[in-house]
Amino acid sequence: MLANTVTRRDFIKIGGLSSIGLTLGFYTPAGAKENSIELLTKESAETLGVELNAWVSIDTTGKVTLMNHRSEMGQGSYQTVPQIIAEELEVNLDQVQILFAPGNGAKYGSQLTGGSSTVRGAYKHLMKVGASAREMLIEAAANKWAVSKTDCYAENGFVIHRASGKKFGYGELVQEASKLQPPKDMKLKEAKNYKVIRQSLPRQDTPLKTNGTAIFGLDKKLPGMLYAVVERNPRFAGKIKSVDDTETKKVPGVRHVISVKMSVFASLREGVAVVADTLWAATQGRKALKVQWDDAGFEHLNTEQLFTRMRDDLKKPGLSQRTGGNADAVFNKAEKKVEAVYETPYESHSCMEPLNCIAHFKGDSCDIWGPIQAPDWIQSLLTGLIGLPPEKINVNMTFLGGGFGRKAFMDYPHEAAVISKEINAPVQVVWTREDDMTQGPFRPGAVYECKAGLSKQGNIQSFQAKIAAQNMDHQWPGADKSTFNGSTVEGLPEGYFESISHYSFSDIPTESPIPVMWWRSVYSSTNGFAYESFIDELSREAGQDPLDFRRKYLGSERYQSLIDTLEQKSNWKARGKNEGWGVAITECFKTTVGEIVKVSRNADGKIKIDKVIAVMDCGWHVNPDIVKGQVEGSIIMALGAAIKHETHFTDGKAVERNFDSYKMPRINEIPEIEVYIMDNEEKPGGVGEPGLPPFSPALTNAIFDLTGKRIRKLPFNINEV
């Protein structure tokens, strides 16, 4: 496996982009309809003057190289992208090597690993590339044997003649195949004929990560590379007043002490970089540094002030994202009125691998290496900030030790590029755990006001929700702050909008200097708690079974099948009197997930989580084991956010600095988790994030079922319930 050690130039050599190999990719012609692609070989791309995105390359030895255009942060793209291609190419994954594609949005389209979009955004293109290469190899073999293509088939890297059993390895056919035109139309396999897709094949990155050969950002080294750490303003928006680096420059190995600015949305965060021969020297130099900050001109808020502001904001008219009927009028006339307010905290991403990035500014080009979720975004940002065209900014992905949205941001590569340009040398900027936890951007805290009107029969007549929280989109340069939050309804299953006639969803964008951004499942992680907790409250007020209540409003066949499976796998109807059972169903990134949590009291009278049953309907999917692993990981992350950790602020500064105060769930606290995947051929939805939003409401709904206590604020201390 050569992932992360191969440059684009090396890949061209390895992949057989010369006349002796078959390389196949696609491009989108100018003016083409959305999702319209044209398949090309290397030769035909050169004729058209197009730079080919080489997805599949086979050399004369039969070595198959498959490209992964997305980052790998544990979610499984390093396995699933090649697994899709390999299915139609008729090769086993042990016959291939896998490479990360270099950043190039023009060639590979969006390379953002976010929004659980890797499979659902490209699966058909990837299958067509694999099928086209297979058909070209079959045609090349048929021509050699002077037989019809229909008399031949491909299997395990060979083309075989049905009648005689003669066969050619792919490597023997690449010269002839490379001269053929890719087929315009090809029939993709039906699911019943899959050999690789839908199989829980061992992940190709697991051996690399267990034997130490996988290259993460912190592992990458360049010749002559220096190391840097940065003292940044702890209040995010302050300026440097003065710097005393006298003692810092006395530390052996320290080379430079420079002031730097990095882009954070529409702001520039200031800091002082200490650059040294070793990371140890840079760290010691930073400890000796004395910086005074000018923190005038902006608010220094604490946590209670932030949430008071959000609660006050709820009294203001909201910016409506989605309305239907006349929710206000119907609510005012309703027989029963139900109202509740929910709160969710600010959160750190706290990836196990702290932020880091290598930059080598060379004057006319710049190389970037690191744990990066969005290489094409970095190219776009740096083009405007360091004065180089995008084709001169080479962004190379390493493995990521977690991302959760944080490593899709562009601040830390920008900072590394600025430092490299200043010192005229390659540099690796390393963030400490304390930097990573206290500098943000954070998941925004939020306060929700929910109101509903019920009929005498317990039917929902109106449903209203208003959210007060910082709007991530309002932080970008030139943002229109009069616009509503486009994610206000994120997390709520679409079926509710079809069954409830009168509804209103709006937001009030709370202002704060604290930077906020995407966190696993984005606003669904907070919306889901509020909306599914409130749905549960409505079911109780209506005197109806919580699962049956949801079934009544989620009427489509897909929803009903998921609810049936959830009921069957949990044995919902057989729940006991001394147990608490809670359910929640959320929907994000085109995937619906239902979860049931079972709780009870232990011998000490404390709440314990006995079991979580999760059912995911993500439509067409690739590797069941990866799907289940992502749901399990999402549930554990949601557990931490529900009962363990949050980021507080005092005097404008983040309080929690490391895992001694930002507590993570321990292995002995993880309940039994069962995951079931709905089997259908619907369009694929996301997998990496949708398992997170339903857990916290299912947990608190279960606690209410057991204790009668309604929890409306996260996190809560489960030992004190």
pLDDT at residue number 17? 39
**Same domain (yes/no): 120, 18:** yes
**Same domain (yes/no): 224, 123:** no
pLDDT at residue number 19? 39
**Same domain (yes/no): 173, 258:** no
**Same domain (yes/no): 285, 167:** no
Q: Is the pLDDT of residue 451 over 60?
A: yes
pLDDT at residue number 170? 95
The predicted model gives 208-228 an average pLDDT of 96
d(CA 286, CA 358): 19
Q: What are the pLDDT digits (tens) for 96-114?
A: 889 998 888 777 878 888 8
pLDDT at residue number 580? 97
Q: What are the pLDDT digits (tens) for 123-181?
A: 998 999 999 999 999 999 999 999 999 999 999 999 999 999 999 999 999 999 999 99
> Would you say residue 175 lies in a domain?
yes
Quickly count: other Cβ atoms within 10 Å of residue 380's Cβ. Answer: 16
- How far is CA 317 from each of CA 443, 465, 499, 507, rounded to the nearest angstrom? 24, 12, 26, 8
Q: Final residue of a domain: which of 153, 179, 211?
A: 211
Q: What is the DSSP string of 264-275?
A: ETTEEEEEEEEE
> Would you say residue 437 lies in a domain?
no
Q: Is the pLDDT of residue 364 over 90?
A: yes
pLDDT at residue number 506? 98
pLDDT at residue number 617? 98
> Would you say residue 561 lies in a domain?
yes
Q: What is the DSSP string of 528-563?
A: HHHHHHHHHHHHHHHT--HHHHHHHH--SHHHHHHH
**Same domain (yes/no): 486, 366:** no
391 or 538, which is more confident: 538
**Same domain (yes/no): 471, 403:** no
Q: What is the β-pairing status of strands 502-509 and 460-469?
A: parallel
- Are 413 and 396 spatial neighbours (Cβ–Cβ below 8 Å)? no
d(CA 713, CA 721): 13
At which residue do the structure tokens 């003057």 appear? 49
Q: Final residue of a domain: which of 430, 453, 486?
A: 430
> Would you say residue 307 lies in a domain?
no
**Same domain (yes/no): 147, 250:** no
Q: Is the pLDDT of residue 5 over 50?
A: no
356, two tokens = 């880091």
Quickly count: other Cβ atoms within 10 Å of residue 540's Cβ. Answer: 18
Number of domains in the chain: 3
Determine which helix (DSSP H) or strand (DSSP E) holds 255, and give its type and residue range.
strand 254-264
Q: What are the pLDDT digits (tens) for 13-22?
A: 444 333 358 9
Q: Is the pLDDT of residue 47 over 80?
A: no
Q: Is the pLDDT of residue 431 over 70?
A: yes
Q: With bands split at pLDDT 50, 70 and 90, how would you rate the model's confidence at 10?
A: very low
**Same domain (yes/no): 328, 197:** no
Cis omega before residue 715 (within 30°)? yes
- Are 471 and 485 spatial neighbours (Cβ–Cβ below 8 Å)? yes
Q: What is the DSSP string of 386-413?
A: H---GGGEEEEE-B-S--TTGGG-SHHH
User: What residue numbers bound the domain in which 47 lies?
Assistant: 8-211
**Same domain (yes/no): 23, 95:** yes
- For 554-708, where are the alpha helices, taking DSSP H only? 557-570, 624-643, 695-707
**Same domain (yes/no): 380, 269:** yes
Mean pLDDT taken over the chain = 93
**Same domain (yes/no): 157, 253:** no
Is the backbone of residue 651 left (phi > 0), alpha (psi -120 to 50) or beta? left
Burial of 575 (0-12, 13-18, 19+ CB in 10 A): middle
At which residue do the structure tokens 């090769």 appear? 91
The DSSP 8-state label assigned to residue 491 in this structure reads B
Q: Is the pLDDT of residue 46 over 80?
A: no
> Would you say residue 503 lies in a domain?
yes
> Would you say residue 393 lies in a domain?
yes
Q: What is the β-pairing status of strands 446-454 and 336-344?
A: antiparallel
Percentage of the chain surpassing pLDDT 70?
Answer: 95
559, two tokens = 């929803």
Q: Is the pLDDT of residue 11 over 50?
A: no
Calculate helix-pair angle for 524-542, 695-707, nearest 10 degrees: 30
d(CA 231, CA 274): 8
Using DSSP's 3-state secondary structure scheme, residue 646 falls into: coil
Quickly count: other Cβ atoms within 10 Å of residue 508's Cβ. Answer: 23
How far is C-alpha 664 from the geometric centre of its chain's CA atoms? 20
Q: Is the pLDDT of residue 638 over 90?
A: yes
Quickly count: other Cβ atoms within 10 Å of residue 339's Cβ. Answer: 12
d(CA 310, CA 512): 10
Q: What are the pLDDT digits (tens) for 183-201?
A: 988 889 999 999 999 999 9
pLDDT at residue number 33? 55
d(CA 585, CA 583): 7
> Would you say residue 304 lies in a domain?
no
- For 34-76, where are the alpha helices, taking DSSP H only? 42-48
Q: Provide the CATH number for the domain around residue 406.
A: 3.30.365.10
The predicted model gives 582-602 an average pLDDT of 97
Q: What are phi and psi of 275, to 5 degrees?
A: -110, 135
d(CA 716, CA 721): 8
> Would you say residue 530 lies in a domain?
yes
Q: What are the pLDDT digits (tens) for 521-551?
A: 999 999 999 999 999 999 999 999 999 999 9
**Same domain (yes/no): 189, 289:** no
Q: Final residue of a domain: which of 398, 430, 462?
A: 430
Percentage of the chain surpassing pLDDT 90?
Answer: 85
Sheet holding 167-169, edge to edge: 152-155, 158-161, 167-169
